[in-house]
Amino acid sequence: MRSGAGDARLLPWAGEDGKPCYLLTDGDGPLARAADAAEAVQLSMAVGLLRHADGLLADERASSVQLRYLLARMCESLRDVHRVAESRGARLDGTGRD
């Protein structure tokens, strides 16, 4: 997707009904900076979740409820990280498409 203003950037959040949100941008502006900040938070949270998972998986006393909760949060985080990777990959290859 191309525009005179720049490329269509996949944003790190979903719109209504979970549909992807795009921003037509040249990479600068308040919404682009908000997206950059949201991506940074999502990636940081994924790192923290991985550290928590390492500890919980090493604990033989971890309950199935704890492990299921961890798995649910990891699925959410993996979706976020995947969206960030798609968005950044599209911007790197210059297609502007995801």
* Annotated domain spans of the chain: 2-93
Q: Point out the residues of the chain with pLDDT beneath 50.
A: 1-4, 98
> What is the pLDDT, as a whole number, of residue 10?
93
- Its pTM stands at 0.80
> What is the pLDDT, as a whole number, of residue 62?
97
Q: Give the H or E element holding residue 35.
A: helix 30-58
